[in-house]
Structure 1
């Protein structure tokens, strides 16, 4: 039986695979890991380990951002682990990116290259503007969760 993959601060990205057996490829450190679980199952299981289910995390983010689509997910807010999707989660090209791993992103032809702090990177099928919007939305969520620490006032949630 496969060990369940849990998202950590070393996780850079999670994407679907074309394999008939493995459903996800996880970029972690210098290696690629494969899982029979979908990216959303990995995210849900990781959220549960850190204290809430994916549904609950999405409800909180929906309220913070006042939107329902392409929601970033606080995997472990206390550890600073937040993931954001590059497109609709129903899209087969959707890649989940770890916010804290992103060094830069830039348009290259019809795709966007996302560079990580370890000097690796990946191409995603999304525009730079779309990635920029997702990155900024995730920043809003991070600030919301850390308002008391950053500014000394406000609640950590609503």
Structure 2
């Protein structure tokens, strides 16, 4: 536990290969709900705080990662974030990161996705699924943008080119 402005705060959640989703929680104390392959847990930190603090833990900031991805995609909105690129952990936002509706989905946890009543159903590697209140076209675009970023970071592995700097 850590003390922030006189309040005991739960230790920061560490994003790992097990993380599937980080979403906003409508609670006065628990600001996020995290879904992993084996458990679910609330967090007093907002999704953006969790992403930012994990980026810092692994050598950058959310703004730093956004800047790199913005250069790769030639875009500045709804950017996928390489949280721990060395381990292949990339998070896909379903909306603008400032939006209350933004849900972060782990790229490598997605097995497939499809349309269901103008929403998107995500099928995860572990056989579970969830509905997202985002159109399939928007999610498909976000997934493809994330794929571009993943290829950029792993170009040296895929194509045998020189090493990429993280």
TM-score range relative to shorter protein:
over 0.9
Match of 2:85 among 64, 67, 77: 77
Task: Kindly state the Cα deviation for residue 157 of structure 1 after the two structures are TM-superposed.
Answer: 5.1
- Structure 2 stretches lacking a partner, 5+ long: 1-8
CA RMSD in angstroms comes to 1.4
Q: Which has the higher contact order (CA 8 A, sep 6+)?
A: 1
TM alignment of 1:72-151, pairs within 5 A: 72-151=80-159
Rg: which structure is higher? 2
Equivalenced residue count is 158
* TM-score for both structures, normalised by structure 2: 0.91
Post-superposition CA distance 1:48-105 (Å, at most 9, x none): 1111111110000000000000000001111000001011122222110000000111
Shift, 1:155, TM fit: 5.4
In the superposition, the TM-score normalised over structure 1's length comes to 0.95
**How far apart, in 2, do the equivalents of 1:135 and 1:46 lie?**
21
Cα drift, residue 148 of structure 1:
1.3
Runs of 4+ in 1 over 6 A off after TM superposition: none
CA shift for structure 1 position 111: 1.4
Whole-angstrom CA distance in 1 between matches of 2:54 and 2:46: 12
What's the CA shift for 1:154?
5.0
Structure 2 equivalent of residue 153 of structure 1: 161
| Correspondence 1:9-48 to 2 at 5 A | 9-48=17-56
Task: Name the SS for the 1:90 alignment partner.
Answer: coil
Separation in 1 of the partners of 2:130 and 2:101?
12
Extract unaligned runs of 5+ from structure 1. Answer: none
Moved more, 33-42 or 114-123: 114-123
Match of 2:15 in 1: 7
Whether contact under 8 Å (1:93, 1:124) holds in the other structure is: no
User: Is residue 105–residue 115 contact of structure 1 (8 Å, CA) maintained in 2?
Assistant: yes
